[in-house]
Amino acid sequence: MRILGIETSCDETAVAVVEDGTKILSNVVASQVDIHARYGGIVPEVASRQHMLTILPVLKHAMFQAKVSWQDVDAIATTFGPGLSGSLLVGVNVAKASALAQGLPLIGINHLEAHIYANWLEGNQPFFPCLCLIVSGGHSDLVLMSEHGKYQRVGRTRDDAAGEAFDKGARILGLGYPGGPAIEAAAKDAVPSLSLPRAWLRGSDDFSFSGLKTALLHLVQKRGSLDAAWVAEAAASFQQAIIEVLATKAIATAKRLGVRQILLSGGVAANRALGSYFASHCSLPFHIPRPGLCTDNAAMIAACAYYRFQAGVVDDYSLDVVPGLIIS
């Protein structure tokens, strides 16, 4: 079964064709990062206009790369939330129009659920029950997954998401946008020797990163002028503080819940230092999709849709965007 997935929830225009929920036939991502970088963050109106310009060429390119025509596609899936409403509308309407024109089933997908399903791509077969750590620009969730489509959110961020913390920290350090890759690059050869706080929130599976960001701001203000060596040390210390909290809490929650595996996903899961930390501190099996499948893409949308479709879930043309959608 081949599913065409569409993803336009934020600033990536993406279309992919995936076979049987795991084999990627094509995975095209047109990033708007250069357009938004000059503003230091995503401008929603600019994002939706850019999706409108890019979506049809990206869709054609994905079908061309997968060597499929509409006759070879069995269903069309699209993210309907969470995300920016103007951006989501582009993908949802292109999916609806294509489904109607081609007489194909339409499947609306929760973007957070799709991040988890990046773990099923390229032949990987996770075990249930598993604990999913979704760490993206807008979310930091710990989700217990007992079987396909069955979730219980056990933890979330109480303020900034981990990716948001990376983006804000990078701005404070003058490292540009997007912050995660910029901090990771700056931190590469530096020692995390600066003292920064960790919000453990003991007794809770929630996260909090806004205090860490404020502490970094205070360090920078105290320092006055910034030289490259100090910025690298600060980037490494800031990254280490985020990683330690994410990994320590996820591992402790996984052990307490008695799951068989931890699945990481979302843009922050692309961070190699986070992967190394898990490798040296996690005694449970864990899986991280390769970096290009952690950040926003449409292959994960198609993978998730495969399991929903198998369970008999399809949508009708009343499918609408839900910008504040959660996973629960």
The encoded tokens of residue 17 equal 């064709």
> Which residue from 136, 140, 157, 261 is in contact with Zn ion, where contact means CB under 5 A?
136
The encoded tokens of residue 241 equal 């503080």
Overall size of the chain counted in residues: 328
**Is the C-alpha dihedral spanning 10, 148, 246, 267 positive or negative?**
negative
- Please say which residue, 21 or 138, places its beta carbon nearer to ligand KG4: 138
CA contacts within 13 A on the Cβ side of 208:
12
Separation of alpha carbons 54 and 192, rounded Å: 41
Which of Zn ion, ligand KG4, none does residue 179 bind (CB under 5 to 8 Å by kind)? ligand KG4
Please report whether residue 13 would count as binding Zn ion according to CB under 5 A.
no
Only one of the segments 25-33, 71-79, 85-93, 132-140 lies at the binding site for Zn ion (rule: CB under 5 A); that segment is 132-140
C-alpha torsion angle, residues 163, 35, 6, 14 (rounded to 10): -90
> Which residue from 5, 91, 267, 289 is in contact with ligand KG4, where contact means CB under 6 A?
267
Separation of alpha carbons 232 and 50, rounded Å: 34
Separation of alpha carbons 183 and 173, rounded Å: 9
Please report whether residue 184 would count as binding Zn ion according to CB under 5 A.
no
Only one of the segments 124-132, 148-156, 180-188, 318-326 lies at the binding site for ligand KG4 (rule: CB under 6 A); that segment is 180-188
Which of Zn ion, ligand KG4, none does residue 98 bind (CB under 5 to 8 Å by kind)? none
Please report whether residue 192 would count as binding ligand KG4 according to CB under 6 A.
no
> Which residue from 132, 270, 305, 327 is in contact with ligand KG4, where contact means CB under 6 A?
270
Separation of alpha carbons 134 and 130, rounded Å: 12
DSSP 185-204: HHHTT----S-------TT-
Please report whether residue 5 would count as binding ligand KG4 according to CB under 6 A.
no
Please report whether residue 7 would count as binding ligand KG4 according to CB under 6 A.
no
* Region 131-160 residues binding ligand KG4, contact defined as CB under 6 A: 136-138
Burial degree of 210 (CB within 10 A; 0-12, 13-18, 19+): middle
Please report whether residue 104 would count as binding ligand KG4 according to CB under 6 A.
no
The residue ranges that bind Zn ion (CB under 5 A) are 136, 296
The residue ranges that bind ligand KG4 (CB under 6 A) are 10, 136-138, 163-164, 166-167, 178-181, 184, 266-268, 270-271, 295-296
